[in-house]
Structure 1
Amino acid sequence: MIEGGRTLDLQNCPKCDALYVKNKFRDVCEKCWKEEEAAYDTVSKYMRKRENRAATVLQVVEATGVPEELILKFIRAGRFQLTQFPNFGYPCDKCGAVIREGRICASCAEDLIADLRTVQKEDQRKKEIADRQATFYTHRE
Structure 2
Amino acid sequence: MKFYQKEITLKSYPRGFHVITEQITAAVASDLSFITIGMLHVFIKHTSASLTINENADPTVRVDFERHFNTMIPENAPYYQHNYEGSDDMPAHIKASLLGNSVQIPITNGKLNLGIWQGVYLGEHRNKASGRKLVLTIFGES
- TM-score, normalised by the number of residues in structure 2: 0.23
More helix by share: 1
| Greater gyration radius | 1
Question: Which protein is richer in strand relative to its size?
Answer: 2
Higher relative contact order structure (alpha carbons within 8 Å, sequence separation ≥ 6): 2
